[in-house]
Amino acid sequence: MVLRAMDDNTKEMLLSKAIDLFYKKGYAGASVREIVKSVKVSNSILYHYFKDKNELLYVIIERIGRELIESLRSIQNTYSDPVEALSRMIITQVSIVKEKKKEVKIFLEEQYQLNEIYKKRILKQHKEIYSIYKRQLELLEKEGRLRDVNKAVANFAIHAMMNWSYRWYKEGGSLSIEDVANAITDIFFYGILKR
């Protein structure tokens, strides 16, 4: 049992250091040697847990994607009002930046470094995320609460606003991440022009 805990701890330390380095240097700029050196283990230890550097990247991206999907599904199951559910989903997804800014950047910017097998798996994850939002837009339409807009464009617009907030959001700035999330939700629902 102690050996298993040590194994899990070493794997998590490797993931943590890889996250730090991929965030700072990008996937291409970070080497396996730097990752293992910062954890004070040999290259062979990394290959005990991961087939290669690309699998390490995949695990990081898959994990944050899975966490997001679980959160979104939980919201869908908790809130019966589609407006409230969609609002909570947007706030939750934007607010992930507060705790997981590095992982979000890697998720959005480094997925293109994955080999074809891993890319297909992550694309499936992305499609699942989009389908969750699509379902909410369909519920709004069914209730007659959605304007006559193209739902695919609306879905991509939500993601465009949410996904890039991590690039310009500054922790300790004049807005909290919650303020940003609420503003994005408000702009998505009501636009920017006075009525």
Can you tell me the mean pLDDT for 127-144? 97
CB count, 10 Å around CB of 165? 19
Q: Which domain holds residue 43?
A: 1-50
Q: What is the pLDDT of residue 8?
A: 78
The H or E element containing residue 36 is: helix 32-39
Confirm whether 4 is domain-assigned: yes
Does some domain include residue 195?
no
Whether 16 is covered by a domain: the verdict is: yes
Q: Give the residue carrying structure tokens 């991509």.
A: 156
Average pLDDT over residues 42-54: 95
Is the model's pLDDT at 4 over the cut of 50?
no
75 and 5 housed in the same domain: no
Do 89 and 105 lie in one domain? The reply is: yes
* Start-to-end Cα distance in the chain: 63
Do residues 37 and 96 both lie within one domain?
no
User: In the prediction, which pLDDT does 171 show?
Assistant: 87
**49 pLDDT above the threshold of 80:** yes
| pTM for the predicted model, two decimal places | 0.92
The answer to whether residues 76 and 56 belong to one domain is yes
Same domain, 95 and 167: yes
Number of domain units in the chain: 2
pLDDT of residue 195: 67
For the ranges 37-41, 59-63, 116-120, which has the lowest average pLDDT?
Answer: 37-41
Query: pLDDT band at residue 33, thresholds of 50, 70 and 90?
Result: very high
The residue among 169 and 72 whose pLDDT is bigger is 72
Please report, for the domain that includes residue 24, its CATH number. Answer: 1.10.10.60
